[in-house]
Structure 1
Amino acid sequence: MKTTQQQHHPPSSFPKHFFNAQIHLHKIISNFLIFAFGVALGASLNIYLKDFPFQLYSTQNKYSHLSTNNPPSSSPPPQSLNIPTNQTKAKTSAAGPAPPIGLKEYTKSPNILHEMDDDELLWRASLVPRRRGLPFKRTPKVAFMFLTRGRLALAPLWEMFFKGHEGLYSIYVHANPGFNDTMPENSVFYGRRVPSKNVTWGEPNMVKAERRLLANALLDFSNQRFVLLSESCIPLFNFNVVYSYLMDSNQTFVEAYDLPGPVGRERYRHKMRPQITLDQWRKGSQWFEVDREIATEVVSDEKYFPVFTKYCTPSCYSDEHYLPTYVSIKFWKKNSNRTLTWVDWSKGGPHPSKFMRTDVTIDFLKKLRHGSKCEYNGKRTNICYLFARKFLPNSLDRLLRFAPKIMKFN
């Protein structure tokens, strides 16, 4: 009987073991779910925390440009956040540190456009090296400076003159700011207008414009000779002759002479003493050619130019007296006392003759080129003028026709 009961009825401890097994299984499942949840939560937090500093950096970078104009009143972020500042970002940027600056960057031709006012421009242009000689090779250039009221009507003729001689010249145009006409992009005059102010012919502003042109041209260290021309000027020789004439000369070409009478000595103002005396007063053409030394001294002049600005009123015509007087006082030994720009005063009056289309002939141009005698580097020569004025716009077609033959352009 005991054997049969044992076979058909399990021991009384079986339900208790079964119940304990179920509880144990539930604990395993619960622990697994908790573990899985913890793993998922940890992974999510890990991803979020990796992105969190980047978001802070991006937010700071996004608004960093505002801090330059409107600095926040709050204190800087705690160092414990380790948020990079602009200075830190500059040091640790992917591009690395800026490349070192060599001599080439200091001496290369600058952009003609700038935001300097006259005082800043003249100061910058007055900087000169004190050591003689050059530690590098450079090709000297002639700076052609055009002082115009408006359109440069004879530009096509000058285009022919400059063609094929890139790297040997620089061009600067000072026009009235109210003139808005532009040159085509394929022109040598394109983008060559200097930042300018209003210009009134014959008044001190004219000399200010000349100094402004010189100062802009001096920013290019390669410019060694400086020629001032008007919109009515034409070249009388090809570029090679003009370039060699200027570069080989041991003189500068500023017309300066002592002229008695109402358009000479009587324009002198006695209030200019003691800086400028009557015996130093000179008259001459406003169209000149100077070397780099004189050009630098002119833009640096703080002794004589202020006197002209103050006392040389419009009837004094400082553009005819300032540079001739200044160069005669400071550089009379190296000045030729003549201009390179021919002009006709034979008809009298306050202005020289103007030449229209019918005046331009082959014989007339030949006369301008070789019809005079002068001195060049201590020797007599019949090449006295490299340029001539005043040619009206309607003379352009004949000039273009005769230039290749007479002046040997192209």
Structure 2
Amino acid sequence: MWSDVKPILRPRPDSNDDADYFPSTPRKDWSIGVAKVVSFLAVFMAGLILGSSINAHFGRFYTSQADLFFPRAVYSDCDGNCLSLKHFIKPSHLMHSMTDEELFWRASMVPRMAEYPFQRVPKVAFLFMTRGALPFAPLWDRFFKGHEGLFSVYVHSLPDYRLNVSKESAFHGRQIPSEEVSWGSITLVDAEKRLLANALLDFSNERFVLLSESCIPVYNFPTVYEYLISSAYSFVHSFFDDSKQCKGRYNRRMAPLIKLSEWRKGSQWFELNRELATSIIADRKYYPLFPKYCRPSCYPDEHYIPTYLYMFHGGSNANRSVTWVDWSRGGPHPAMYGAKDITVEFIQAIRNNGTKCEYNSQPTSVCYLFARKFAPAALEPLLNISSTVMEF
């Protein structure tokens, strides 16, 4: 009877309940098994990560190679216009961060193809060099009105100066990046080249005329436009004489690049076609001689362009200026005309004063399209007679 009674099994004080219901496993073997599982999982995850990385690398490689031939999409940081022809042939903004060296390099680019892949209407670029205000802006605006698309305006002023003109003015937003300019120094030539280079960035600009804040037009826009666009020659005054103001300014250290027989003097106020303007911008051989050897009392702005064109483009130059200036009073500066000087007869005398010149190898009496120097007070009387005398 007592043999049929089974003893009640109680867990040992140091055992756990689960150990009495499952086959017993030594604690050491169980720990080793867990460690192996953890190690296996670690190795597995490392392999998975490494494999994904390699797959992504080769995927990007083959994708990038395929995109060379089968591009799938445009770059997201381009607004659709950054490589457009429109932005290349005519910059939408005049202000930029290029240095002069970068600007001149960019402006010296010349297409090898004779035909343009766009409808090109040749324009006249009016290059204004001024220290500050443009007192005759209202007169020029009247001159430009109604002829949009046939001209461009560029203004080189003191670096910190801002023109105060209305949004409707042809001068609004037309200032270029500029530097300080000193009369009689090489900085004047630098400013001229800066104006030319910025205007060359617009491929529609065909003629380039340099003007100052004291210049006025003496003919209407259609006459000026047709005269310049149809001319077979550029208009740069260039001459040589034995005077102290010409021969006396030559420095023999310019030889052999520039000989005395090639030395020339002329008016600063030029008019150039696109080919000659590009050639001047691209010159890095002869220009450096002028800041070195043409110093007061040698004035680079009176010698560099006249000399350079005589040496290399003499056959393309009419050898005269289209800007009238009165030097009859003597001195280092031309005569200045104010309000009391402005009469119908005076402007008519500038337009047709008996001077004879040649235009496209034919004699003409229309020799001057612009005139200087005029004081700001001359604006009002000029506006009063512009419609009857200048016809604008």
User: Could you state the TM-score of these two structures normalised by the residue count of structure 2?
Assistant: 0.79
Q: Does residue 405 in structure 1 map to residue 384 in structure 2? A: no
1:336-374: CA deviations, max 9, x gaps? 110000000111111110001000100000000011211
Which deviates more, 210-219 or 367-376?
A: 367-376
Looking at structure 2, the residues matched to 298 and 380 of structure 1 have their Cα atoms a distance apart, in angstroms, of 29
Residues 254, 324 of structure 1: 8 Å contact kept: yes
Which deviates more, 195-204 or 103-112?
A: 103-112
Matching residue's letter, 1:163: K
Counterpart among 290, 301, 310 of residue 319 in structure 1? 301
Number of residue pairs matched by the alignment = 330
Q: Does residue 297 in structure 1 map to residue 279 in structure 2? A: yes
Aligned to 2:193: 211
Which deviates more, 238-247 or 109-118?
A: 109-118
Cα RMSD, aligned residues only = 2.5
1:69-127: CA deviations, max 9, x gaps? xxxxxxxxx84998xx9x99x97799799759554443234421110010000000011
Residues 109, 221 of structure 1: 8 Å contact kept: no
Structure 2 vs 1, CA of residues 92 and 329 (structure 1 numbering), >3 Å: closer, same or farther?
A: closer
Structure 2 vs 1, CA of residues 102 and 262 (structure 1 numbering), >3 Å: closer, same or farther?
A: same
Aligned to 1:113: 95
Q: Which has the higher helix share?
A: 1
SS of aligned partner of 2:202: coil
Aligned to 2:249: 267
Aligned to 2:238: 256
Looking at structure 2, the residues matched to 399 and 79 of structure 1 have their Cα atoms a distance apart, in angstroms, of 78
Structure 2 vs 1, CA of residues 261 and 138 (structure 1 numbering), >3 Å: closer, same or farther?
A: same
1:151-176: CA deviations, max 9, x gaps? 11111100100000000000000001
User: 1:150 Cα deviation (Å)?
Assistant: 0.8
Matching residue's letter, 2:369: L
Aligned to 1:220: 202
SS of aligned partner of 1:333: helix
Structure 2 vs 1, CA of residues 390 and 91 (structure 1 numbering), >3 Å: closer, same or farther?
A: same
SS of aligned partner of 1:254: coil
Report 1:222-241 matches (<5 A).
Answer: 222-241=204-223
Matching residue's letter, 1:196: S
Counterpart among 158, 177, 180 of residue 176 in structure 1? 158
Aligned to 2:111: 129
User: 1:233 Cα deviation (Å)?
Assistant: 0.3
Structure 1: which 5+ residue stretches go unaligned? 1-77
Aligned to 1:361: 343
Aligned to 1:382: 365
Looking at structure 1, the residues matched to 211 and 133 of structure 2 have their Cα atoms a distance apart, in angstroms, of 14
Looking at structure 2, the residues matched to 149 and 247 of structure 1 have their Cα atoms a distance apart, in angstroms, of 29
Aligned to 2:134: 152
Matching residue's letter, 2:118: F
Matching residue's letter, 2:314: W
1:367-399: CA deviations, max 9, x gaps? 000112111011111100000000000000000
1:206-242: CA deviations, max 9, x gaps? 0000000000000000000000001000000000000
Counterpart among 175, 191, 200 of residue 193 in structure 1? 175
Matching residue's letter, 2:143: F
Counterpart among 279, 283, 293 of residue 261 in structure 2? 279
Residues 91, 97 of structure 1: 8 Å contact kept: no
1:288-316: CA deviations, max 9, x gaps? 00000000000000111011121111321
Structure 2 vs 1, CA of residues 98 and 158 (structure 1 numbering), >3 Å: closer, same or farther?
A: closer
Aligned to 1:13: none
User: Could you state the TM-score of these two structures normalised by the residue count of structure 1?
Assistant: 0.76
Residues 216, 372 of structure 2: 8 Å contact kept: yes
User: 1:183 Cα deviation (Å)?
Assistant: 2.2
Residues 90, 201 of structure 2: 8 Å contact kept: no
Q: Percent sequence identity over matched residues?
A: 50
User: 1:138 Cα deviation (Å)?
Assistant: 0.9
Counterpart among 235, 240, 246 of residue 228 in structure 2? 246
Looking at structure 2, the residues matched to 272 and 249 of structure 1 have their Cα atoms a distance apart, in angstroms, of 33
Looking at structure 2, the residues matched to 92 and 370 of structure 1 have their Cα atoms a distance apart, in angstroms, of 64
Matching residue's letter, 1:311: Y
Structure 2: which 5+ residue stretches go unaligned? 1-51, 65-70
Q: Does residue 396 in structure 1 map to residue 373 in structure 2? A: no
Looking at structure 2, the residues matched to 139 and 382 of structure 1 have their Cα atoms a distance apart, in angstroms, of 28
Structure 2 vs 1, CA of residues 103 and 363 (structure 1 numbering), >3 Å: closer, same or farther?
A: same
Looking at structure 2, the residues matched to 323 and 263 of structure 1 have their Cα atoms a distance apart, in angstroms, of 16
SS of aligned partner of 2:172: coil
Looking at structure 1, the residues matched to 365 and 334 of structure 2 have their Cα atoms a distance apart, in angstroms, of 23
Matching residue's letter, 2:271: E
Structure 2 vs 1, CA of residues 302 and 362 (structure 1 numbering), >3 Å: closer, same or farther?
A: same
1:11-55: CA deviations, max 9, x gaps? xxxxxxxxxxxxxxxxxxxxxxxxxxxxxxxxxxxxxxxxxxxxx
